[in-house]
Amino acid sequence: MGSFGNAFSASIGKKFIMGITGLFLVLFLIVHCFINSLIFFNDGGITFNQGAHFMASNWLIRAGEIVLFIGLIAHIVQGLRLWIQNRKARPVRYAVNNGNANSKWYSRSMGLLGTLLLIFLIVHLSNFWVVSRFTGIENYDGVTGLDANGNENLYFVMHAVFQNPLIVVLYVLAMVSLCYHLLHGFASAFQSLGWNHSKYNAIIKGAGVWYAIIICILFAAMPIAIYAGLIK
């Protein structure tokens, strides 16, 4: 156990955990974005609530939710440990630092971007996950908690939350941060796991760019569309 623990305490072990948990979160974002995008059917949330009900009632999804939280916590902790390790390795900044010559600014700012996303995540979970799992939608502004099909009316909560312009601005800024985070993290995850090769590195990088842009535009468009009254 000692050698195993030491391996994952080492830099390479930390990067491996960051890579595997990062890819798991990438897959989660695809599913989460797909379900949320159902609001664009603009049918009063009926289709969205059906998708949310499937996610909440499927035992496999619920089990995956536990794995997701474990992976998310591991990703945050290991990211923080790597950031601290890098700061200790270079306690004094160079007098002349031409960082752009070697890497993009967002590659060097993953700690800051991750912190902004953590703040957003706390707000997001308190607005939706806590309401759905613990406090109950029926206690949210007096709504009955069910839509016309008898499904939990998470759409009502989404619609109510995104009437607050400050929340909308926070979500949009968080998606900008997430986009830059993914621009570095997507390809970096493959590299950390040793799944990179000169023959397909360009494909991985290109896929990461498109993934980051599409996912983040869709997530940002949801609160904007609701606040602007484009989705009723």
Q: What is the mean pLDDT of residues 25-54?
A: 91
Q: Tell me which DSSP letter residue 141 carries.
A: T
Query: Is residue 123 one of the residues assigned to a domain?
Result: yes
Q: What is the CATH number of the domain that holds 57?
A: 1.20.1300.10
Which tokens is 66 given? 């536990």
Domain residue limits at 24: 2-92+103-227
Express the helix, strand and coil content of the chain in percent, nearest 5 each.
Answer: 75, 0, 25
Q: Residue 161: exposed, middle, or buried by beta-carbon count in 10 A (0-12, 13-18, 19+)?
A: buried
Residue 50 has pLDDT above 90, yes or no: yes
Contacts of 227 by beta carbon, 8 Å cutoff, 6+ apart: 162, 163, 165, 168
Query: Is residue 122 one of the residues assigned to a domain?
Result: yes
Query: Is residue 232 one of the residues assigned to a domain?
Result: no
Residue type, 153: N
Give the separation between CA 162 and CA 174, rounded to whole angstroms.
Answer: 14
Give the separation between CA 122 and CA 106, rounded to whole angstroms.
Answer: 22
HSE at residue 123, side-chain half, CA atoms within 13 A, is 17
Task: Specify the number of domains making up the chain.
Answer: 1
Query: Is residue 53 one of the residues assigned to a domain?
Result: yes
Query: Is residue 98 one of the residues assigned to a domain?
Result: no
Identify the band that residue 20 occupies on the pLDDT scale cut at 50, 70 and 90. confident
Give the relative orientation of helices 59-89 and 11-36 as an angle to the nearest 10 degrees.
140
Identify the band that residue 42 occupies on the pLDDT scale cut at 50, 70 and 90. very high
Which residue did the predictor score with more confidence, 232 or 108?
232
Query: Is residue 43 one of the residues assigned to a domain?
Result: yes
Identify the band that residue 130 occupies on the pLDDT scale cut at 50, 70 and 90. confident
pLDDT, position 40: 95
Which residue did the predictor score with more confidence, 145 or 1?
145
Cβ(187)–Cβ(158) under 8 Å?
A: no
What is the secondary structure of 112-140 as a DSSP string? HHHHHHHHHHHHHIIIIIHIIIII-GGGS
Q: Which residues of 186-198 are buried (b: 16+ CB within 10 A; e: fewer)?
A: bbbbbebeeebee
Nearest partner of 153 among 223, 36, 49, judged by Cα: 49
In the chain, % of residues over pLDDT 90 = 26
User: Which residues on neighbouring strands pair with residue 146, listed in sequence order?
Assistant: 152
Torsion of Cα atoms, 67 then 69 then 61 then 209, to 10°: -100
pLDDT, position 139: 61
Residue 81 has pLDDT above 70, yes or no: yes
pTM confidence score? 0.77
Residue 48 has pLDDT above 90, yes or no: yes
Query: Is residue 83 one of the residues assigned to a domain?
Result: yes
Residue 196 has pLDDT above 60, yes or no: yes
Give the separation between CA 201 and CA 196, rounded to whole angstroms.
Answer: 6
